[in-house]
Amino acid sequence: MSEFVKVIIEGKTYEFPVIIGTEGEKAFDISQLRKLTGYITHDPGFGSTGCCTSAITFMDGEKGILRYRGIPVDQLAEHSTFVETAYLLINGHLPNHEQLTNMRVLLNDSSMVHEDMKIFYQNFPRNTHPMGILSAMVNALKSFYPAYDNTEEEVTKMTLNLISKIRTMSAMSYRMSRGHMVIYPRPDYSYCANFLNMMFDNPVKPYKLDEDLVKALNVFWILHADHEQNCSTTAVRVVGSGKANLYAAISAGIAALWGPLHGGANQAVIEMLTNIQQSGYSIPQVIEKAKDKSDDFRLMGFGHRVYKTYDPRAKIMKKMCDAVLGKLKKKDPLLDTAKKLEEVALTDSYFIEKNLYPNVDFYSGIVLRAMGIPLNMFTVMFAIGRLPGWIAQWQEGVEDPNGKICRPRQIYTGAGLTNYVPLEER
């Protein structure tokens, strides 16, 4: 039996259907609200608004649950690879051996970037942020690798091009910004191993792959592969709702991710740790500053908009963080500051009561720094990981038979009717 909610507006009763999700989530279907009543809802930030139904990712912020296509993210982090997880998100199921092998082969075949694209890189100013370059270059892929429609064959081509070439383009932007020669992908390396090699290999000092770092990179990208309807994912869906091609939608997602309140959080963690170290404040002093509401200082990497308990990704990333630091035996004062800050925050009653636990950005920033990833590449690393989720979300949106172009309403608060005053009378 269908559920309905009754709403009384100006003395008249209206019934609106209730949508119930797989995990018991409930929503009022108000799609007919304005048509029936003349009213709209007002929800800045969309914290209480569902923009779609989706079968991709389930989150429960109160219980600390995150699943891709029903599979807990901790199981994927332990047993899967980034490529296999990407297949799961995009296709809706785990691949068999033949499907996974075929995807790896196709990704390898798609890994090269058109040589003419180098001209673009060479003409960006040297101080251009890698996220700006990446967003522009992803959009430019449409010109170099045209897709004529959104048929299954064309979408598959675009998907493979994006997943494979984004790591090549990202490594290229880093190396060319440093004046170094471009390293091309190798067919005998895995997806993550190839990225590390393209970033750090050197003709005079060949890069030695460390399987523990390859594993850490796999885990990092798996944990960031999708996260429901966040800012960048919503941007991808909104652009896709206008029937824009996948390259354009992903370019918009990258631009949205660039913001410091979204993808820039792991970079902000390292910047905060640097400022703490340079300020000379002790860790107890830093904790007291964070508690003081009159102080502008904020602890970056603690708490989360959705999770009201420990971020499930943070638990996995913490374990990986400990493993990487232990393996590399890095002596880094910044990392020492981070560990001390984490230790105090995890035992302080103020943080525990307010659910201000270290989130995935806190640990991922430390791991990326330990691996040698430069600070301005942190958000790019996030974008590479989030790509499969963006693709899956775009695809789900454009294939929705009930889908419409996104067109929110507003409450106008400007001036009333105002007559034009000729220039000579002003």
Residues recognised as catalytic: 304, 361
Apex CA 367: angle with CA 226 and CA 72, to 5°? Answer: 35
Q: Which three-class secondary structure string do you get for the chain? A: CCCEEEEEECCEEEEEEEEECCCCCEEECCCCHHHHHCCCCCCHHHCCCCCCCCCCEEEECCCCEEEECCEEHHHHHHHCCHHHHHHHHHHCCCCCHHHHHHHHHHHHHCCCCCCCHHHHHHHCCCCCCHHHHHHHHHHHHHHHCCCCCCCHHHHHHHHHHHHHHHHHHHHHHHHHHCCCCCCCCCCCCCHHHHHHHHHHCCCCCCCCCCHHHHHHHHHHHHHCCCCCCCHHHHHHHHHHHCCCCHHHHHHHHHHHHCCCCCCCHHHHHHHHHHHHHHHCCCHHHHHHHHHCCCCCCCCCCECCCCCCCCCHHHHHHHHHHHHHHHHHCCCCHHHHHHHHHHHHHHHCHHHHHCCCCECHHHHHHHHHHHHCCCHHHHHHHHHHHHHHHHHHHHHHHHHCCCCCCCCCCCCCCCCCCCCCCCHHHC
Structure tokens, 206: 């060949």
As a whole number of angstroms, the distance between CA 146 and CA 154 comes to: 9
